[in-house]
Structures are given as C-alpha cells and as structure tokens.
Amino acid sequence: LFWWADAETRNVILRRFAVSREILQDAASDIFAMAAEENWQDPVSRKALQFIERRQRSRLASEEEAAKSLEDAVTGAQHGLTPEIAEEISYLSGIKPMIGARIFTDPGGEPIAVLCKATGLPKQAIRALWRGLKRSEADGAGGPSPALERVMIVYDMIAVDRAQTVLRYWNWSMTSVLTPALVRAVRNDGELTPGEYSDPEWAAMLTLSKDFDR
C-alpha cells in the first residue's frame, strides 16, 4: 500500500506501522551473544535476528578495508547518483540493490528519509541524494521545494529504531519471495495474472516491476 499511497496516507502508514523493537531486542539479548559466538552460522536464527538487531548497516561491508563508508558514498552521490553508487549505498545500508533502486526511484521521496534515518545518516544526506537524483531543491518562485520539505519532515518525524523496522520490512517482504522464476515472470512481456501468485509475490511484482524494466 505504501508505494502507491499519496503523501498524507504515507505519513499515516509510517506513524502506525513503524513500531519499536526494544522489547524483542531485550528478550533476545542472550541469543544475539550466542549467534555472535557461532559467527552467525545458523541461517534461520541469523535471518530472525537481523530483523530486530540494532545495527542497520552491513556488517560485511564494514569489515572490508577497501569499502567506502556510507557517508563517503552519499557524498559522492550528490554529483550524480549512478546505478553503481546506488548499489554501493544499498550494500553499505544492509539492503538489497533492488530495494535501493526502488527507494531512489520513488517519486514521493519519503523512502529516502526512511533510509537515511535508519542508517544514522544526518539530515544533510537527504539533500545530497536529492541533488544526486537531479530533483528540484526549489519551487518556481525560488522558495524551498515542497516535496523536499515534506521528506525532511518525515525524517524528523520517525525515530531511528522505527525507521529500521520499516526499511527491514521492505527489504525482507519484497525480496524473500523473488525466486528466479518470479523474476522471469516480472520481466516477460505478458500480462501478470494475480491468481497465479500468492499475495506477497504479487505485491513484490507490482512494487518492483519498474526496476525490472517492465
């Protein structure tokens, strides 16, 4: 629903859906320690803990000496957000590149605020990404862009923990069902028939179809 909603409805969704995970984090604190000792080997527990852990940025990316910091990648993006930079930002942010592409191509811009808040980026990062996407920072009269101001308000409105909940749900819900067969179905030239797919599969196809050149 979020991806097709207007600005007002999006604000309502973010206020109601973005919930705190503190209770789950406290309850699973001993499991985090056990998983870390085992180097996160168990795939089931790793997936579950990834959804509620406090860290949003990619652990693997932070361990690679040659990798840029997320801040550096965003700074570079303001001169032009290329597909390569968008993929790098997605990787450093702990989300799949196709979700990053969906966030950056969203016409409303609110997902950019969610991404920045969830990853601990400062408010200026929104403006850098906005500029890199060649979006207007001012209206016709020379005043601030209403769209950019609206996105800034979303950034201020949502807490880090709640922004992480939203971002991880997007990442999980839209990629967990994307099997190779489903990707081929999205890319083919025929009409997509709802009855052939589950509700999660159908939602993922509708949301990501633009990113597969549909």
Put simply, whether the predicted model's pTM sits higher than 0.85 gets the answer no
Q: What tokens appear for 126 in the block?
A: 């929104």
Exposure pattern of 50-84 as b/e (b: 16+ CB <10 Å)?
A: bebbeebbbeebeeeeebbebbebbebbbeebeee
pLDDT the model gives residue 193: 56
Residue 212 dihedral angles phi and psi, to the nearest 5°:
-110, 25
Cα–Cα distance, 36 to 38 (Å, whole number): 5
Could you tell me which of 117, 98, 106 has the C-alpha nearest to residue 167?
A: 117
Local confidence pLDDT in tens for the 214 residues of the chain:
788 899 999 999 888 875 666 666 666 667 766 767 777 677 766 666 666 665 665 656 555 544 578 899 999 999 999 989 999 999 999 888 888 988 999 999 999 999 999 999 999 999 999 999 999 988 878 788 999 999 999 999 998 888 888 898 888 876 654 555 555 655 554 455 555 555 444 455 555 555 544 4
Per-residue pLDDT at 50: 64
Gap between the Cα atoms of 212 and 164, Å rounded = 25
What's the pLDDT at 15?
A: 85
Q: What six digits make up the tokens of 207? A: 């949301």
**According to the model, what pLDDT value does residue 132 have?**
94
* Residue whose C-alpha is closest to residue 165's, from 11, 2, 23, 54: 54
